[in-house]
C-alpha cells in the first residue's frame, strides 16, 4: 500500500524526480524540525512551570534548530518565508521565482506538521494526564537519527567543518525541547544496562514499574531511528549505500517519465 501511494501520488508527476523535489523537501522538513524543537522547548518550559527549562534554554534550542536545518540541502533551506521572498527580490537567481510558491507552501506546511507533532508529544501534559510514554522516545530518536544523517552526509563535508559542534547542538536541542517527560531515553544501552545493575541492588521492581516501562527505552529508539533515517534517505540523501535511497531510485527508474536525464 505504501509503495502504491508513493508511486501514484508523487512520482507520477511528470518531469519530477527526488532530486528536483529536494529543495521543497528541505524547506518542509527544515521548518517542521524548527517547530518541533522550537515550540517543543517552549512547551517543555511552560508545561513544567519552568522546572525543566529557562529563557536561556528556549533561545539555545531555537538557535540549534536553525543550525541543524542548514545541513538539509545545498544551498541551505531558508525555512523562513520572509527570507525566501526577500532573496527572490534582492538577489534573484535563475528559476527562483518559479520555485517560490512551492517553497512557501512547503514552509507553511512544515510549520503546521511540526506544531501537530509537538501537540501529540505533549498532549498528555497539556491535558494534565500522566505522561504517555513511547511517543517522546520515538520522536526524540527520530530527530536524533535524522539530524545525525544530515550532519554526517558526505555532501556537507566541504560546507561545514564543525560536525562535532553540530552534534553537540543536536543533542542540546533534543534535551531542551523533548527531554522533559521521560528524560529522552534515546539510547537502549544507556537505559537497560544501568537498569539491569539496579535490579541486582533493588530487585525486579525496576523492570515492573510503570507497567513494565523498561521495554519502551529498548524498542522505541530503534523504531524512532528507523523512522528518522527513512525520512532523510527517501527525500534528501543522494549518496550510495542506503537501501531506502536505492528503493526510491528504483521506483523512479521504472517509469522513464520520472527521469531528468
Per-residue pLDDT of 60-74, as tens digits, reads 888 888 888 888 888
Average pLDDT of the residues in 148-153: 86
What is the residue extent of each domain of the chain? 15-129, 133-260
Q: pLDDT, tens digit, for every residue of 181-224?
A: 777 778 787 788 778 878 887 888 888 888 888 888 888 888 88
Residue 156 has pLDDT above 90, yes or no: no
In contact, 163 and 152? CB cutoff 8 Å: yes
What does the alpha-carbon distance between residue 173 and residue 232 come to, in Å, rounded to a whole number? 18
Identical fold for domains 15-129 and 133-260, yes or no, is yes
What pLDDT was estimated at residue 9? Answer: 46
What does the alpha-carbon distance between residue 195 and residue 203 come to, in Å, rounded to a whole number? 10
Average pLDDT of the residues in 49-56: 88
Q: How many angstroms separate the most distant Cα atoms in the chain?
A: 67
Q: Is 76 exposed, middle or buried (0-12, 13-18, 19+ CB in 10 A)?
A: middle
Query: Which of 3.30.499.10, 1.20.1080.10, 3.40.30.10, 2.102.10.10 would CATH assign to domain 15-129?
Result: 1.20.1080.10
Which three-class secondary structure string do you get for 143-181? HHHHHHHHHHCHHHCCCCCCHHHHHHHHHHHHHHHHCCC
Could you tell me the pTM of the whole model?
Answer: 0.69
Residue 4 has pLDDT above 60, yes or no: no
Q: Percent of the chain, pLDDT > 90?
A: 7
Residue 27 has pLDDT above 80, yes or no: yes
CA angle centred on 17, ends 256 and 113, rounded to 5° = 145
What pLDDT was estimated at residue 25? Answer: 92
3 confidence band (pLDDT: 50, 70, 90): low
Beta carbons within 8 Å of 84's beta carbon, 6+ residues apart: 27, 78, 100, 103, 104, 107
Query: Residue holding cell 517560490?
Result: 100
| 190, 205, 216, 226 from 197: Cα distances, Å | 12, 12, 18, 28
Residue 13 has pLDDT above 50, yes or no: no
Residue 129 has pLDDT above 70, yes or no: no
What pLDDT was estimated at residue 80? Answer: 80
What pLDDT was estimated at residue 8? Answer: 52
112 confidence band (pLDDT: 50, 70, 90): very high
What pLDDT was estimated at residue 259? Answer: 45
Residue 261 has pLDDT above 50, yes or no: no
257 confidence band (pLDDT: 50, 70, 90): very low
Average pLDDT of the residues in 153-170: 81
Q: Percent of the chain, pLDDT > 70?
A: 88
Residue 120 has pLDDT above 60, yes or no: yes
What does the alpha-carbon distance between residue 185 and residue 181 come to, in Å, rounded to a whole number? 10
CATH topology for the 133-260 domain = Glycerol uptake facilitator protein (1.20.1080)
What pLDDT was estimated at residue 29? Answer: 93
- Range of lowest pLDDT (15-19, 104-108, 124-128): 15-19
Residue 161 has pLDDT above 70, yes or no: yes
Amino acid at each position: 500500500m505504501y509503495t502504491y501511494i508513493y508511486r501514484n501520488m508523487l512520482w507520477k508527476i511528470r518531469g519530477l524526480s527526488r532530486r528536483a523535489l529536494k529543495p521543497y523537501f528541505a524547506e518542509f522538513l527544515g521548518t517542521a524540525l524548527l517547530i518541533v524543537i522550537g515550540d517543543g522547548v517552549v512547551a517543555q518550559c511552560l508545561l513544567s512551570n519552568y522546572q525543566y527549562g529557562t529563557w536561556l534554554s528556549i533561545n539555545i534550542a531555537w538557535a540549534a534548530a536553525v543550525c541543524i536545518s542548514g545541513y538539509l540541502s545545498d544551498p541551505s533551506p531558508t525555512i523562513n518565508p520572509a527570507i525566501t521572498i526577500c532573496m527572490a527580490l534582492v538577489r534573484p537567481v535563475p528559476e527562483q521565482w518559479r520555485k517560490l510558491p512551492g517553497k512557501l507552501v512547503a514552509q507553511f506546511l512544515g510549520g503546521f506538521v511540526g506544531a501537530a507533532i509537538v501537540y501529540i508529544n505533549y498532549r498528555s501534559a497539556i491535558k494534565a494526564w500522566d505522561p504517555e510514554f513511547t511517543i517522546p522516545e520515538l520522536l526524540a530518536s527520530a530527530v536524533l537519527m535524522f539530524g545525525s544523517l544530515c550532519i554526517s552526509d558526505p555532501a556537507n563535508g566541504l560546507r561545514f567543518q564543525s560536525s562535532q559542534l553540530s552534534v553537540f547542538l543536536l543533542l542540546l536541542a533534543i534535551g531542551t525541547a523533548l527531554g522533559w517527560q521521560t528524560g529522552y531515553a534515546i539510547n537502549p544501552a544507556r537505559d537497560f544496562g544501568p537498569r539491569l545493575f539496579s535490579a541486582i541492588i533493588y530487585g525486579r521492581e525496576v523492570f515492573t514499574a510503570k507497567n513494565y516501562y523498561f521495554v519502551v527505552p529498548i524498542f522505541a529508539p530503534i523504531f524512532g531511528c528507523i523512522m528518522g533515517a527513512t525520512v532523510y534517505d527517501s527525500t534528501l540523501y543522494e549518496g550510495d549505500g542506503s537501501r531506502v535511497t536505492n528503493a526510491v531510485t528504483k521506483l523512479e527508474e521504472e517509469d522513464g517519465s520520472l527521469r531528468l536525464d
